[in-house]
Amino acid sequence: MPFQPKQTVVRVLSRTPVYRALPAGAARTYAALKYLGENSTQDDITKFIRNSGGIPTRHLSTALVAARAVFRAGADDLLSETLSTLDHRFPESPDLHALHADFHAYYGDYAAAFNSARTGRMLQPSHAASVARMITYGYRTLPTADADALAVEALPRFVRNGEVLWAAAKLCDSPEQYARLSAAWTPLVTDPADFLKGVRQLATAAARASDTDSAIELYRQAIRYVHSGHKLDAPIVDAKLEGKGAWSAFEDLASVLDASGIPYFMAAGTALGLVREGRPLSADNDIDVGVFASDFDEDAINKLFAKHPRFDFDVVHPRTKKVGLRHRGGSPIDIFRFYPEDGRMWHEAVFVRWHNTPFEVERREFRGLSLPIPGNVDKYLTENYDDWRTPNSGFDAFTSDAPNVETTWPEYLNLHFVRRAYKRLTAGDRTTAAADLRKAGEDELATTVGAGR
């Protein structure tokens, strides 16, 4: 691999506090943000910026890095002042308009968010971040048919761009829209490399349209390509909470729900992390919250978070009954309805549901924050994870790894195994990829993959 000086410098800045040796100025701010972004909390970043006299706005690239950091930290006084200054200095920056779009969205003004993204695209038609936001916020402001058309129209120009493809895929809610996306995408991906860049997104669109057969077939083709020697540009990496910025999400979430009077509790992997580690699990990818059915009013929950500046709504599968949120700092949050049935307490996801013995809720203090968790938590966690005290990085709650899981959509479970096999194969693990394919009933493909090339 050729030497890449830029990536090497960024790596050094991320791993060592070089900024402490630099004089005040844009270079020091950039170096500090790179280091603090990897090793500190968002509050630490904001504190550094305030102590440095605010965000330097002379250089747009550094100003945007700092502005995005204070956006995630929710320091809106700093952000508003900075955006106002940057608007005058760099009025034709599409990146600046994309940040404006996200800022508007967290205040529930999706029309303004859409208009900011549209301005960014008008300034630079090839600006993927603006186009992705137009699609995302278009679905919240435009008639569905117009939003669908906008997503389809974007694909030919951005057929290789993951951000735009994800925006279009995650908001596909019907078989008709999936057919349109597929018809726009498929003729443009005759090269295996292009196919692999978009297969996960298009398969997600198919799954959201309840077309599991098409989603599985897309992954079959991707697996054949990888088996034949084609490689992804970058490994598939799942988003992780990583335990740094997530704590501010706990604080804001508890503040909002406690003030609302809606009874709630930390559930599943979030309860596990709090009890075993005293913090979110680094390997977890979201925050799980439970609300008993007697208290679960979806409209009331939606209204509670609709215009709260620390939260925006996240996209969930059309067949799920949870409320999806995203904290300003980036942490996804799922609020599940826990309902009684046949003497058990259940909650469900897209294709599975989990049961527990009915439980009360108690509060415990974690890092000075009082949070509700299931009472008799040892029994609750044992029902969910069996030996919950021993970390298991490979645990998959959607499979028989979980002792309390019940499959409600078998075809989607097969898709889950095929999708997991693809991810493992791209990481070079043919053995477990083949095992997952066999679990999905894909014996012929499993034999091919397991045999190697």
Q: Round to whole Å and give the CA distance between 316 and 404.
A: 23
Which has more pLDDT, 306 or 20?
306
Q: What is the rounded radius of gyration, in angstroms, for the C-alpha atoms of the chain?
A: 23
Instruction: Indicate the SS3 state at residue 151.
Output: helix
pLDDT surpassing 50 at residue 81: yes
pLDDT, tens digit, for every residue of 263-308?
999 999 999 999 999 988 877 889 999 999 999 999 999 999 998 9
pLDDT, tens digit, for every residue of 31-48?
887 787 777 777 788 888
pLDDT, tens digit, for every residue of 399-445?
999 999 999 999 999 999 999 999 999 999 999 999 999 999 999 99
pLDDT, tens digit, for every residue of 168-187?
999 999 999 999 999 999 99
Q: Round to whole Å and give the CA distance between 426 and 122.
A: 37
pTM for this structure? 0.91
Q: Round to whole Å and give the CA distance between 324 and 23.
A: 43
Q: Round to whole Å and give the CA distance between 301 and 324.
A: 10
pLDDT surpassing 90 at residue 7: no
Average pLDDT over residues 76-91: 91
Q: By the 8 A CB rule, do 77 and 67 touch? A: no
**Residues in a beta bridge with 333:** 287, 325
Q: Which 3-state string (H, E, C) describes 316-347?
A: CCCCCCCEEEEECCCCEEEEEEEEEECCEEEE
C-beta contacts of 95-100 below 8 A and 24+ residues apart: 95/60, 95/64, 95/120, 95/127, 95/129, 96/60, 96/64, 96/120, 97/123, 97/130, 98/127, 98/129, 98/130, 98/133, 99/64, 99/67, 99/68, 99/71
Q: By the 8 A CB rule, do 449 and 433 touch? A: yes
Helix (H) or strand (E) holding 266: strand 265-266
Compute the half-sphere exposure of residue 444: CA atoms within 13 Å on the CB side of its CA.
2
pLDDT at 1: 44
CATH of the domain spanning 246-407, picked from 3.30.460, 3.30.70, 1.10.357, 1.10.10: 3.30.460
pLDDT at 56: 81
pLDDT at 3: 46
C-alpha closest to that of 204 among 156, 234, 236, 246: 236
